[in-house]
């Protein structure tokens, strides 16, 4: 079948050291999941006790890793199901696509603030509710983007392959495995990788939460760092940062690289590719007789399952009627959910005075100014540096992965350190929140600029050199137009990240000092801490409006400009 090479001629029967390695890795993974999973539902009073001993760090790292992977699995399932429904059913798509657009504009930490009390209430006295809230927050950081990616490839399937699937009468099941999933594999994998990297930030943010006046820490690397910072334990802080970096690199090398390399088989171009991405782990797995043996063992079962699912659909003349029934049921469900949401929203918001709304709007403007400042300041240094790196293939080979790690690194883990410095120079958080936002978001601009300048066609660069384009003229006529599309992409991502960061950056503490900035992010954080549901909702709604307005008024026109005027090739 398509996803794995069909078991062909037996290449090897003897097991080698590779197989031992694979076996050990699988065993270790199973044990770790079982052990860590058992710790996810502890009595709440046990949770607060986090040990700063370095020996405990790997365990904490494992728990964080488990959280992020559970969230990723959920995101993947959600993306495929939601994207499929939105693309395949025109009437569902009319609701699902705009809904996704709105969900995408809600700041991720807003979801955390809004759902924390709800999930905690589901399992009183147990940490399970908080675990679910944390996983849900990470899920919201990953899912929307992945869903859009999958949806988009489903509506732009290659026309000739679609016709071929029709002529050869592939059923839904066969179409999914032969046409739809393979066509979207590369986009889905790349998007998953980016979303996964971006979600470390939310992992760290969701492990230490304050709600209803209580500060709760879930065991994990984020809370370890938070506690170390609270106590001012420098060695523990350094250890946490080091382990975090190791974690990011390991996940990249052991998980993403093999998947990216494997997904190259789903390239649509018919030309033999030049050097594609490779992965030593994938090569290892491919050479393992154990993996091959396992596949051989599972193949008949898969084959049976396949035939069961893809059996030709029975003639059902009543098909039209049943679809009407479904439509009515689905519509009723939608109306019910909408009514419930409106009622809750109304109950929460009806108690809010009009001047409160004006106040929140003003706070929104303040935060908006910070977001813009963070993006612009970030661009000022990352554009020249990124171009310098991108134009030199030698430098970019090592600098690009570094920029990617920096973008994945949860910057909020470092916030208290910056706050300590702010305290020393006696600067407030009103300005200080800007560098905090930049800490996490500027890397998006950097690696997009690097990618953009790497992609400047050689002939354009040569033409520039021949006609003696130098200095400012070279920047204006060659470099800036060529990297413009990537710059816009980087800017959008950075601005989105900055909005999210505002929720944790406008209230920040170092040991016993807490700084608060005037802004919408602080408003949401403080309201969550007090457990004031209506204020949380109001804050999130206003922030989402700001994000939507920015997207419509600034980023979309820029995107259009990038696509029409500055599109290379």
Partner 1 sequence: MLEPLIVAEHIDKIYEMPGGGGKQVLRGIDLAVREGEVLAVLGPSGSGKSTLLRIIAGLVAPTRGRITYHGAMAQRGGNGVAMVFQSFALFPWLTVQENVELGLKAQGLIEAERHERALRVIDMIGLDGFEGAYPKELSGGMRQRVGFARALVVDPDVLLMDEPFSALDVLTAENLRRDLLELWLERRIPTRAVVIVTHSIEEAVYLAVRAIVLSRDPAEVRAEVAITLPHWRDREDRRFAQIVDQIYSLLTQRAGEKETAQGRRRPEPIPAVRSGALNGLVELLEDAPREDIYRLGEELQFDVDDLLPIVEGLELLGLAKVHEGDIELTPQGRRYAGANLLERKEIFRTQALERCPALAQIERVLVQKSNGRMNREFFVDAMEQSYGVEEAERQVDTLIEWGRYAEIFAYDQESRQLYLERDEAQPGAAPSGD
In angstroms, the Cα distances linking 132 to 41, 57, 208 are 10, 22, 14
Tell me: does residue 307 bind partner 1 (CB under 8 A). yes
Tell me: does residue 270 bind partner 1 (CB under 8 A). yes
From candidates 20, 29, 164, 549, binder to partner 1 by CB under 8 A: 164
Q: How far is the CB of 347 from partner 1 (least distance, A)?
A: 44
Comparing CB distances to partner 1, the nearer of 186 and 527 is 186
- Specify the pairing of strand 214-217 against strand 507-510: unpaired
Tell me: does residue 284 bind partner 1 (CB under 8 A). no
Q: Which residues of 387-411 are buried (b: 16+ CB within 10 A; e: fewer)?
A: bebbeeeeebeebbeebbbbbbbbb
From candidates 2, 253, 278, 344, binder to partner 1 by CB under 8 A: 2
Q: How far is the CB of 3 from partner 1 (least distance, A)?
A: 8
From candidates 174, 210, 212, 551, binder to partner 1 by CB under 8 A: 174
From candidates 168, 346, 394, 458, binder to partner 1 by CB under 8 A: 168
Q: Which two tokens stand for residue 388?
A: 């310098």
Q: Are 135 and 74 in contact (CB under 8 A)?
A: yes
Comparing CB distances to partner 1, the nearer of 38 and 312 is 312
Tell me: does residue 563 bind partner 1 (CB under 8 A). no
Q: Are 539 and 523 in contact (CB under 8 A)?
A: yes
360 — phi, psi (to 5°)?
Answer: -65, -40
Comparing CB distances to partner 1, the nearer of 168 and 398 is 168
Residue span binding partner 1 (CB under 8 A) among the ranges 54-62, 263-271, 328-336, 526-534: 263-271
Residue span binding partner 1 (CB under 8 A) among the ranges 42-50, 106-114, 266-274, 417-425: 266-274
Tell me: does residue 271 bind partner 1 (CB under 8 A). yes
User: Which stretches of 350-478 are DSSP H helices?
Assistant: 354-391, 393-408, 415-424, 429-454, 458-466, 471-474
195 — phi, psi (to 5°)?
Answer: -65, -40
Total binding residues for partner 1 by CB under 8 A? Answer: 34
Q: How many CB atoms lie within 10 A of CB 204?
A: 25
Q: Which long-range contacts (CB under 8 A, 24 or more apart) does 474-480 make?
A: 479/387, 479/453
Tell me: does residue 163 bind partner 1 (CB under 8 A). yes
Q: How far is the CB of 485 from partner 1 (least distance, A)?
A: 17
Q: How far is the CB of 274 from partner 1 (least distance, A)?
A: 12
Q: How far is the CB of 302 from partner 1 (least distance, A)?
A: 11
Element (H, E) at 510: strand 507-510
Q: Are 210 and 503 in contact (CB under 8 A)?
A: no
From candidates 94, 166, 343, 567, binder to partner 1 by CB under 8 A: 166
Tell me: does residue 90 bind partner 1 (CB under 8 A). no
Q: How far is the CB of 269 from partner 1 (least distance, A)?
A: 7
What track of x and - describes contact with partner 1 for positions 213 through 252 (by CB under 8 A)?
----------------------------------------
From candidates 160, 275, 459, 569, binder to partner 1 by CB under 8 A: 160
Residue span binding partner 1 (CB under 8 A) among the ranges 83-91, 270-278, 486-494, 505-513: 270-278
Tell me: does residue 317 bind partner 1 (CB under 8 A). no
- Among residues 82, 65, 224, 56, which one has the least CA distance to residue 151? 82
Q: How far is the CB of 4 from partner 1 (least distance, A)?
A: 11
Maximum separation of any 2 CA atoms in the chain, in Å: 77
Q: How far is the CB of 186 from partner 1 (least distance, A)?
A: 10
From candidates 13, 34, 55, 268, binder to partner 1 by CB under 8 A: 268
Q: How far is the CB of 172 from partner 1 (least distance, A)?
A: 11
Residue span binding partner 1 (CB under 8 A) among the ranges 15-23, 165-173, 288-296, 466-474: 165-173
How far apart, in whole angstroms, are the C-alpha atoms of residue 68 and residue 134? 9
How far apart, in whole angstroms, are the C-alpha atoms of residue 183 and residue 154? 8
Residue span binding partner 1 (CB under 8 A) among the ranges 65-73, 148-156, 178-186, 527-535: 178-186
Tell me: does residue 269 bind partner 1 (CB under 8 A). yes
Tell me: does residue 8 bind partner 1 (CB under 8 A). yes
Q: Are 461 and 393 in contact (CB under 8 A)?
A: no
From candidates 62, 107, 182, 539, binder to partner 1 by CB under 8 A: 182
Tell me: does residue 274 bind partner 1 (CB under 8 A). no
Tell me: does residue 568 bind partner 1 (CB under 8 A). no
How far apart, in whole angstroms, are the C-alpha atoms of residue 221 and residue 246? 12
Q: Which long-range contacts (CB under 8 A, 24 or more apart) does 83-88 make?
A: 83/147, 83/148, 83/149, 83/150, 83/151, 83/154, 84/150, 84/154, 84/176, 84/180, 86/147, 86/151, 87/151, 87/154, 87/155, 88/154
Tell me: does residue 351 bind partner 1 (CB under 8 A). no
Tell me: does residue 169 bind partner 1 (CB under 8 A). yes
Q: Are 117 and 130 in contact (CB under 8 A)?
A: no
Helix axes 108-122, 533-550, angle to 10 degrees: 150
Tell me: does residue 167 bind partner 1 (CB under 8 A). yes
Q: How far is the CB of 166 from partner 1 (least distance, A)?
A: 5
- Among residues 479, 478, 477, 495, which one has the least CA distance to residue 559? 495
Q: Which two tokens stand for residue 70?
A: 């559970």
Tell me: does residue 312 bind partner 1 (CB under 8 A). yes
Tell me: does residue 316 bind partner 1 (CB under 8 A). no
Tell me: does residue 286 bind partner 1 (CB under 8 A). no
Alpha carbon 476 to its chain's center: 34
How far apart, in whole angstroms, are the C-alpha atoms of residue 349 and residue 542? 12
SS3 content of the chain, % helix, strand, coil (to 5): 80, 5, 20
Comparing CB distances to partner 1, the nearer of 158 and 232 is 158
Tell me: does residue 320 bind partner 1 (CB under 8 A). no
Q: How far is the CB of 265 from partner 1 (least distance, A)?
A: 5
Q: Which residues bind partner 1 (CB under 8 A)?
A: 1-2, 6, 8, 160-161, 163-164, 166-171, 174, 178-179, 182, 185, 265-273, 303, 306-307, 310-312
């Amino acid at each position: 079948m398509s996803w794995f090479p069909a078991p062909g001629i037996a290449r090897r029967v003897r097991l080698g050291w590779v197989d031992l390695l694979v076996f050990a890795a699988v065993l270790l993974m199973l044990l770790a999941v079982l052990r860590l999973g058992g710790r996810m539902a502890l009595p709440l009073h046990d949770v607060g006790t986090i040990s700063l001993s370095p020996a405990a760090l790997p365990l904490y790292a494992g728990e964080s890793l488990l959280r992020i992977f559970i969230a990723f699995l959920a995101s993947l399932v959600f993306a495929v199901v939601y994207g499929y429904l939105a693309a395949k059913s025109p009437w569902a798509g009319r609701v699902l696509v705009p809904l996704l657009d709105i969900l995408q504009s809600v700041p991720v930490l807003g979801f955390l603030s809004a759902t924390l009390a709800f999930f905690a209430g589901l399992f009183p006295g147990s940490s399970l509710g908080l675990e679910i809230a944390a996983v849900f927050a990470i899920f919201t950081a990953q899912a929307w983007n992945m869903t859009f990616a999958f949806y988009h490839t489903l509506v732009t399937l290659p026309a000739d392959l679609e016709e071929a699937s029709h002529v050869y009468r592939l059923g839904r099941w066969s179409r999914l495995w032969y046409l739809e999933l393979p066509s979207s594999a590369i986009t889905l994998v790349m998007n998953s990788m980016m979303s996964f990297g971006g979600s470390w930030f939310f992992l760290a943010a969701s492990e230490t939460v304050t709600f209803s006046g209580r500060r709760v820490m879930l065991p994990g690397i984020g809370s370890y760092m938070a506690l170390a910072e609270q106590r001012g334990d420098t060695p523990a802080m350094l250890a946490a940062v080091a382990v975090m970096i190791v974690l990011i690199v390991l996940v990249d090398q052991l998980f993403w690289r093999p998947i990216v390399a494997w997904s190259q088989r789903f390239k649509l171009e018919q030309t033999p590719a030049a050097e594609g991405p490779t992965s030593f782990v994938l090569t290892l797995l491919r050479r393992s007789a154990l993996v091959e043996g396992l596949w051989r063992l599972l193949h008949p079962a898969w084959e049976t399952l396949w035939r069961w699912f893809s059996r030709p659909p029975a003639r059902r003349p009543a098909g039209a009627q049943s679809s009407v029934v479904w439509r009515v049921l689905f519509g009723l469900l939608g109306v019910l959910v909408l009514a419930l949401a409106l009622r809750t929203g109304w109950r929460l918001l009806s108690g809010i005075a009009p001047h409160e709304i004006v106040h929140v709007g003003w706070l929104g403007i303040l935060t908006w100014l910070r977001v813009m400042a963070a993006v612009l300041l970030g661009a000022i240094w990352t554009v020249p540096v990124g171009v310098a790196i991108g134009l030199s293939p030698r430098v970019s080979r090592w600098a690009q992965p570094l920029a990617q790690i920096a973008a994945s690194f949860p910057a909020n883990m470092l916030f208290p350190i910056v706050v300590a410095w702010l305290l020393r120079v006696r600067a407030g958080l009103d300005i200080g929140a800007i560098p905090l936002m930049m800490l996490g978001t500027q890397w998006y601009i950097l690696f997009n600029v690097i990618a953009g300048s790497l992609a400047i066609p050689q002939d354009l660069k040569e033409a520039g050199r021949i006609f003696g384009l130098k200095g400012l003229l070279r920047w204006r006529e060659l470099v800036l137009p060529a990297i413009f599309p990537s710059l816009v992409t980087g800017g959008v991502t950075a601005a989105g990240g900055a909005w999210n960061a505002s929720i944790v950056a406008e209230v920040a503490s170092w040991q016993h000092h807490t700084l608060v900035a005037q802004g919408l992010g602080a408003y949401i954080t403080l309201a969550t801490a007090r457990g004031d549901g209506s204020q949380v909702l109001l804050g999130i709604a206003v922030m989402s409006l700001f994000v939507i307005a920015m997207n419509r008024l600034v980023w979309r026109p820029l995107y259009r400009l990038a696509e029409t005027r500055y599109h290379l090739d």
